[in-house]
Every structure is written in C-alpha cells, then in structure tokens.
Amino acid sequence: MPELIEGNAVIGQSGGPTAVINQSLVGVVEKLREFGAGRGSPIKKILGMRHAVRGLTQDDLFDFTDTPRQTLDLLAQTPSACLGSTRDKPDAAYCQRIFEACRKHDIRYFFYIGGNDSSDTCRIVNELSNEAGHELRCFHIPKTVDNDLVISDHTPGFGSAARFVAKASMADFMDNISLPGIKINVIMGRHAGFLTAASALARRSDRASSTDGPQLIYLPEVAFDTERFAHEVAEIYDRKGRCHIAVSEGIQDKDGTPIGAKLIKNAQTDAHGNVQLSGSGALGDQLAELLKEKLTPKGGKPVRVRADTLGYMQRCFPDASPVDQLEARGAGHHAAQLAAEGELDGSVAILRTGKPGPDEVYGVRYERIELSDVAAKTKHMPPEFIKGTSDVSEAFMHYARPLVGPLPEFERLP
Amino acid sequence: MPELIEGNAVIGQSGGPTAVINQSLVGVVEKLREFGAGRGSPIKKILGMRHAVRGLTQDDLFDFTDTPRQTLDLLAQTPSACLGSTRDKPDAAYCQRIFEACRKHDIRYFFYIGGNDSSDTCRIVNELSNEAGHELRCFHIPKTVDNDLVISDHTPGFGSAARFVAKASMADFMDNISLPGIKINVIMGRHAGFLTAASALARRSDRASSTDGPQLIYLPEVAFDTERFAHEVAEIYDRKGRCHIAVSEGIQDKDGTPIGAKLIKNAQTDAHGNVQLSGSGALGDQLAELLKEKLTPKGGKPVRVRADTLGYMQRCFPDASPVDQLEARGAGHHAAQLAAEGELDGSVAILRTGKPGPDEVYGVRYERIELSDVAAKTKHMPPEFIKGTSDVSEAFMHYARPLVGPLPEFERLP
C-alpha cells in the first residue's frame, strides 16, 4: 500500500440532500480523527467545502478538525446537507479551479458524498488533478434517495426516503378507505422506480388480505400507457369504489420520453442535463384530470379523484431509518479508512451479506470499488422486482423491508 | 339531571380524517363501557356507523360493545377514521332516514365526531328526531386539522397536523439552505390559517437568529396580493439567494375569492358547498410560475423555483402529537360522560387552563357547550396571531408550541 501523503483533507456533499448525508460527513470526520488527523498523522486538517466544489473554488471552507463531539452528533442526526450542496457539473476550466484550490489549501484527500453525477465529478477531479501533477486522493461516498447506483445492494439515503414513502402511503391508504375515491401519489425517482416501489411496504405483511393499497404502482422501468392506466384503475374502482395509486415522477412512454417533464411549465434543467421533475404537481394533476374525464359516466356524478405529489419531504423528512443512519455513517467510516490506510482513490460499495428473504439475518459489508465502476451509471429496478405492468414482486418486498426500519402497526375493523 | 333513557348508543366519524380521530372514537367506547354500557347500564349496545350517517341509514353498523381491549388500543393509535367517513350533508329527507334507522336499532345516544359541518349535522338530527318524538341524545366531539371551531382553544387533529407541518418545514428549510432558490410549500386550511402558521414552528426558538424559514407565511386571513407577494419574495431572495415560503391553500384575494379553487381544472364540490382545494398542485405551480416570470432577470439565468403541496399526508401522517392523542381521547371521554350522567345533548369544548406564554404550565379542561354554539361556525386566526402581511406573531408561537409536542433538534454550521 502506498505511503500516506502529507496534507489536508476536504469533504463535500453534492446533489440532492437526504436525511442521512450528514451521517456520512460525520463518519468521514470522526474516522479521520480516529486515525490521528490533526493530531500528528500526515493528514493535518479536515475541511468541509461549502456548497461542494463551488465553495472549494471560492475559499469557502469549514474546519472540522476540532469540531466538538456533541456538535458532530447533532449534525449527524440533522437532515439535509449541512455544508450545503450544488448541482454544478465541473467542466475542464472548473476542474482547473478545483485543483488550484486544492493546491492553495494543501489538500491531498478529497471526499465527495453524492450520487452517480457526483461520483463522476469525483472521478474527473481525480484524473485531471493527478495529470496536472498535484497528487489528490479522491474518495466517493454513495448517497441517493433514488437508489440508482450500480454495484451497491442499496444506497444511503434510500432507506429513509423509502421509510417516509411507506409511512405516508400507509396513512394515505387509510385515508382513501375512509373517504373513498381515486387517490394518486406521485413519488420521486428520475430513472429508477425503487422509491415508488417502496409504497408497497404500506401493505400489511401479516394478513391474508392482499388487497391493501397502493393497488397499482407505476414505475419508470415499465412503459406507461395512458389507456392501460385508465383501464387498470377503472377495474379496481368499479369493484371497490376506491383505488390507491403510486406513480413515479419518472414514468416514461414506450419511446422513453418522460411524461412529467413535458407537463411542467418552464421546467428547469440542471448542469447535468437533468430536467426538473420534482417541485411541481403537474404530473399528478394531469393524471387526475385524465381519470376524471375517462371514468366519470356520461352525465353522471364526477368520480372523486385527488392527486398528491410527495415532494421534497421525501428526501429530508426527520424520521430517518435506523439502518440507513448506521450505514450512511459506516460508508463515511469506510472511505476515511481507505484513505488512512493509503488507498489512492475509490468509491464505497455497500454489499449485503445475506440473501433477502423471510429468513434473512440482515447485514452488510463495505467494499472499495473503482470510481469508474460507479460514475455516471444508473441502476434500475431489476426484472425480478417488477410484477406485471403495475406492481412489485415479493422479492422486492424482502429486499426493501430491512432498509426502512420498523413501521407503525395499524388496526382495521373487519 | 334527567334520567338515563334505555337504548343503544351509536358513534360516527365524519368529514376529513385525522391522525387522532380514532382516539376520540375509542374514548367514547371505553368510557361508556366504564359506565356499564352493555353490562347492566340503560345503555345497551355501543354501535359504530360505517361511513357516518350513510352507514347508519344502510344498517351498516359495527358492534363495539365487546371489542377486545387490545383491538381498541391499536385502533386508537391508527390514523384516519376506522369506521369510514362521509361528506354527505343530510337534508330533511336524509334526516328522516337517520332517525328511522335510530328507531329501528333502538338508538337513543348519538355521538358524532367531526368539524363544524358535522356538528351542524348533529344539531339537525337532534332537533328533527326530538320533534318526531324519538328522543335522541346527541353529542358532538370536535375534530378538525384546520383548527377552525369556535369556543375551544384548539381542536383535536390540529396538533398532529401542525406537528407534521412543523417537521416537514424544518427539514425542507434545511433542504432550501442546502440547494438554494425559492421554495413554496402549500399547506391545508380552507378558511383558517392555523395549520399554515404552524410552519413557523420550524424556526429555531433557542437561537438569536430570526432569519430561519419559512421567512414568508401567507394566511387566508390576510388578503393575498400578487404584486406584494412577488415583491416580498424578491426582497428576501435578493438578499439571501434563497427564500422559503408557506402558503395556505385557502388564500383569498381582497374580495374574498379563494385563489386556489379557480386554478384546479374541474374542481369538485362536496355536499357542504366546499370547493376542492386539496388533492391538486395547481396553486403551488401557479405561484411558482409567477415567481419564475417576475424574478428572472431579462435574458438572465432562470431563478430556481420549486413548489410542493403538502397534501393529505398532513392530516393522517403516523406521527401524532402526544398532547393531541391524549386530548382527542379525553374529548371522547367527556362526551361519553355527559351522556352517562344524563345530559340531553351538547358538544365538547377544550379550554386551556393557563395563559400561553413562556411560563405556561400547559393544561386543558373539557366543558359541555351547546351544539348550536359550535355548529356551522368558523374560527379564524385572531389578529394578535398575525404579524404584518406575511408572518405570525410570537403570541401564536406560544399558543401552538405545546400542541405539537417535542420537535427534533437540528444543528447547523455557523
């Protein structure tokens, strides 16, 4: 293993925040300190970039080297990115400014917590900096509520967002039973349906009944067909007088065109080319309108249709999954450990030690993978997690249940 | 006090469900049983109406007389109305069917859990039934997330919904700091701004800083002016590069016309004449569009504006306020006690024993009031709770804090 190089460490948080991204930040800080950072180890200072690479290039840094233990613990349990985030995508000139800043601040260890766009940034900074002769050891710590990073079994941030979606869906299904009609919930997930699929956790697992909502789940992985959608809803509504539906914000038609993006007026696009899907109710409203039109009998009483878009609350609601908190912290620890042990770069993968299923003893291990293995790649729901055109499989339920933590127990009248 | 009359009791849950309406139901059931209902008291059976008066007229009843203790406890902590609800507004013919059902099922005690529309239903059933010679003792138990019932200091259901709004706003404000821009959250409340005002609880109470979000709060009680709105947002956005805004779904223009209702395509109206405001993202989207247009400099980079509509999750999210749970149960107890002690009718008011403020020792007492005192009347935010055109006062904060229960502690970097 190469020797440690003398210099400072810097940590950034990038992309959409989550309920546990600060756990990863604190994980890196405390593990580097355990390895002696700031107290005699070759790693001198532990700095944080405000608003990720943007702050780094503007000398906007926060020094974590001596932050009190109590502050770290409170930060860890605080949702959202305490350093601030960015959606900047550094081009060559921007990268030049990044490693100039690294040189200026004597930075040799670069930790970047984020999704696949962020790991790509990390990879590019790593390559360009080393080419320019400033050795920079770059480590990526995974984060995304979408759960769309390859190799890892799942990604920190997902479990907590899935927990919110499951609890919101549980309660909203009870609401739908109470005041019947058709209810649509639009759930986050640009390309991957994992978070929308998590709405299925709202169904009771301990009962024979399999008729709990959401009865219909629409994922980006299954081409969305308007006619089939209306038909499937009508079939359930005609039978029950109600229907509870989960729809991914990322649903696409058979040509792969996202349906939501077209509906948002003046939809905004970030530097990574991601068109705005969240922060608007347009998709839900459009689908509600469609069902009102198609399902209301001619001259008859309008069918009650309501749509909610779960929105940004999904990623930061202060009720993180305990497993997710631990693993986000653990991923931060592992990245710091890789650096402290002399690795030159890498990303952290979270691998499941058991096989998901009713008898699983849940556990994970952390492993170093190449930055290029995870950068700019997207994982989708595998076929075995999808059931038909509008549901998820039991395999998905086994996969997801341990990640969200215990859910409340609800009772219903017979 | 009049003698008890021999017969059965029936309980209904009406209007929009809440996280604690089942607490009130269980409160009535257990207190009637304590008074010997079903076990020798003149009150024989304790029945529940499925979907409120609709189920009563269709012989769709559930017998709670011997429901096991454990089931009751689980039901009490389950959000939404376990009996089912309705928005039917009984006219004279419907009321006729109601007391025919009461006669048929030997019902002499009628408990109705709901808001001001429901207490009005309760009052009408009471009067018409007594006129028709079937003595029916009718009791109303307050419930509404809007907190708009008169006389009571606050209403069961509000504290839990306010807790959700406060927690969602806390996290969403951290999100807004992390990825700056303008964020609008649309919050429930048809005529009263209490729930939207509760977003202010997201601000740290223990810090000198008073710049926490939401920086702007728009209530139905203050006429909404589009120009002033854009101006106020611009003032904060120009200074901070971000702005966090809470808007009531019930905001009205200076003529009292609700702004949201006009925006929902094919908005639906219930039997009480309430036009649909929830279950659509239209108001938030419209306001976001307006800010994008007004605040983006000519030819400049578009201002990042996002809007979420908190939706039905507000009323049923499974994280009820502990105080709200207790008081919802207590209101049910008090109604049952009124009946068991021989009262002929009444509604339950929740009165605060202390004066809201930093030194308050929080407590409440329950009191019988006349059905007509509360029926079909609406309480608004009093002027002393409102600060300027777009904020709430410290008096409101003192009023609301004890109702939502402890909030999570967040840490921020200096």
Per-residue pLDDT of A279-335, as tens digits, reads 788 999 999 999 999 998 888 888 999 999 999 999 999 999 999 999 999 999 999
What is the average pLDDT score of chain B? 93
pLDDT category at A22 given cuts 50, 70, 90 is very high
Question: Which of B178, B276, B287 has the most A C-beta neighbours within 10 Å, making it the best mutation to test the interface with A?
Answer: B178
Point out the residue among A78, A178, A265 whose CB comes nearest to the CB of B80. Answer: A178
Quote the pLDDT of residue B210: 57
pLDDT tens-digit series, residues A128-141: 888 888 899 999 99
Strand B182-187 vs strand B243-248: parallel, antiparallel, or unpaired?
Answer: parallel
Question: Which of A14, A72, A175 has the most B C-beta neighbours within 10 Å, making it the best mutation to test the interface with B?
Answer: A175
The number of angstroms, rounded, from the C-alpha of B183 to the middle of its chain's C-alpha atoms is 25
**For residue A273, pLDDT beyond 80:** no
Inter-chain CB proximity A412 and B317 less than 8 Å = no
The ipTM assigned to this model is: 0.96
- Predicted TM-score (pTM) of this structure: 0.96
Which run of H or E residues covers position B263? helix B259-263
Question: Which of B308, B404, B407 has the most A C-beta neighbours within 10 Å, making it the best mutation to test the interface with A?
Answer: B308
Quote the pLDDT of residue B91: 84
pLDDT tens-digit series, residues A26-43: 999 999 999 999 999 999
The three-class DSSP label of residue A36 is coil
Distance from CA of A275 to the nearest CA of B (A): 12
DSSP result, A155-167 = -TTHHHHHHHHHH
Mean pLDDT of B284-299: 92
- Nearest CA to B157 out of B347, B386, B316, B334 is that of B316
Lowest mean pLDDT of A205-214, B185-194, B209-218, B303-312, name the range. Answer: A205-214
Residues of chain A with C-beta less than 8 angstroms from the C-beta of B85 = 178-179
Inter-chain CB proximity A78 and B309 less than 8 Å = no
Inter-chain CB proximity A84 and B177 less than 8 Å = yes
pLDDT category at B265 given cuts 50, 70, 90 is low
Residues of chain B with C-beta less than 8 angstroms from the C-beta of A309 = 281, 308-309, 311
- Comparison of pLDDT for A143 and A264, the residue scoring more: A143
Mean pLDDT of A66-73: 97
**For residue A187, pLDDT beyond 80:** yes
Inter-chain CB proximity B178 and A81 less than 8 Å = yes
- Strand arrangement of the beta sheet that strand A137-142 belongs to: A61-63, A43-49, A7-13, A107-114, A137-142, A345-352, A364-369
High-pLDDT (> 70) share of chain B, %: 97
| Domains of chain B, each with CATH number or no CATH | 7-156+319-374 (3.40.50.450), 160-316+382-404 (3.40.50.460)
- Please say whether the beta carbons of B365 and B151 come within 8 A: no
pLDDT tens-digit series, residues B377-400: 999 999 999 999 999 999 999 999
pLDDT category at B95 given cuts 50, 70, 90 is confident
Q: In whole angstroms, what is the distance from residue B180 CA to residue B182 CA?
A: 7
| HSE value, Cβ hemisphere, 13 Å, CA-based, for B17 | 31
Q: In whole angstroms, what is the distance from residue A95 CA to residue A17 CA?
A: 23
The three-class DSSP label of residue A270 is coil
Tokens of A74: 């409170």
Active-site residue, A146 included:
yes
Mean pLDDT of A80-93: 90
- Please report, in angstroms and rounded to a whole number, the separation of the first and last CA atoms in chain B: 64
**For residue B314, pLDDT beyond 60:** yes
Q: How far is CA A319 from each of CA A145, A161, A383, B57, B111, rounded to the nearest angstrom?
A: 14, 9, 30, 42, 36
Q: In whole angstroms, what is the distance from residue B85 CA to residue B62 CA?
A: 14
Task: Determine the angle formed by the axes of helices B394-404 and B158-178, rounding to 10 degrees.
Answer: 110
Q: In whole angstroms, what is the distance from residue B39 CA to residue B37 CA?
A: 5
Residues of chain A with C-beta less than 8 angstroms from the C-beta of B87 = 179
Distance from CA of B364 to the nearest CA of A (A): 28
Quote the pLDDT of residue B341: 96
Distance from CA of A218 to the nearest CA of B (A): 19
Q: Which of A146, A212, A324, A391 is catalytic?
A: A146
- Comparison of pLDDT for A91 and A20, the residue scoring more: A20
Inter-chain CB proximity B292 and A266 less than 8 Å = yes
Strand A107-114 vs strand A7-13: parallel, antiparallel, or unpaired?
Answer: parallel
Q: In whole angstroms, what is the distance from residue A308 CA to residue A247 CA?
A: 10
Q: Which residues of B are catalytic?
A: 146
Mean pLDDT of A45-62: 97
- Please say whether the beta carbons of B327 and B159 come within 8 A: yes
**For residue B30, pLDDT beyond 80:** yes
pLDDT category at A108 given cuts 50, 70, 90 is very high
pLDDT tens-digit series, residues B318-352: 999 999 999 999 999 999 999 999 999 999 999 99
Quote the pLDDT of residue A206: 63
Residues of chain B with C-beta less than 8 angstroms from the C-beta of A78 = 174, 410-412
High-pLDDT (> 70) share of chain A, %: 98
Question: CB neighbours (10 Å) of residue B186?
Answer: 32
**For residue B215, pLDDT beyond 60:** yes
CA angle centred on B57, ends B51 and B58, rounded to 5°: 75
What is the average pLDDT score of chain A? 93
